[in-house]
Structure 1
Amino acid sequence: MKGLWIVFTTVFLAELGDKTQLATLLFATDDKLDRVGVFLTASLALVLACLIGVIVGSQLPKLIHPATLKVVAGIGFILVGAWTIYDGGFNGN
């Protein structure tokens, strides 16, 4: 059960302020759209995206060793972070 709380907390914190949340926020400002409908369809979209992640993620260890996946994912996150800092105005411009 502890592992599931780690998944929940990680995904929840990663989604806060994410493009998905901001897009949903903007859809909810539209008076022509039902707020419950926005919530339900956005939730369904997130669930389906996560389903794809679980399906692909469950198959990847058959092709690539899990330790290699963690290293590649870690390097990817570092590169995205560095790019964000560089592109965010800390590049001297």
Structure 2
Amino acid sequence: MDLKVFATVFATVFLAELGDKTQLATLLFSADKPASKWTVFAGSASALVLAAGIGVLAGTWLSQHVSAKHLQLVAGVGFILIGGWTLRSALTG
């Protein structure tokens, strides 16, 4: 296992997930008194693992058909567009 890659992916995904809709939904489910906290944790963790697995499979498939440089370019442009849209919404809304 490449620990540098592991640490980079862990830190990036961890920071991206903090305060997002997934974490807020998990918080709300765990705030429900009759809900088992372990069940909420297991369900949330399983969903994140499945979503990550789909991302790995999709990334593997895409990398066989599209160059890494083009994928990085598309991802970068996508993040810039989402950031611009978010800023616009914040400033006008």
Please state which band the TM-score falls in when normalised by the shorter chain.
over 0.9
Find the aligned partners of 1:14 and 1:29 in 2 and give their Cα distance.
22
Q: Which residue of 2 aligns with 1:15?
A: 17
Q: Which residue of 2 aligns with 1:4?
A: 6
Q: Which residue of 2 aligns with 1:43?
A: 45
Structure 1, unmatched stretches of 5+, are none
User: What is the CA distance between 1:11 and its match in structure 2?
Assistant: 0.4
How many residue pairs get matched?
A: 91
Paired residues for 1:50-69 under 5 Å = 50-69=52-71
Q: Which residue of 1 aligns with 2:35?
A: 33
Letter of the 2:64 counterpart:
K
**Could you say what secondary structure the match of 2:79 adopts?**
helix
Find the aligned partners of 1:31 and 1:8 in 2 and give their Cα distance.
31
Structure 2, unmatched stretches of 5+, are none
C-alpha RMSD over aligned residues: 0.9
- Scaled by the length of structure 2, the TM-score of the pair is 0.94
Find the aligned partners of 2:19 and 2:38 in 1 and give their Cα distance.
20
Find the aligned partners of 1:58 and 1:82 in 2 and give their Cα distance.
29
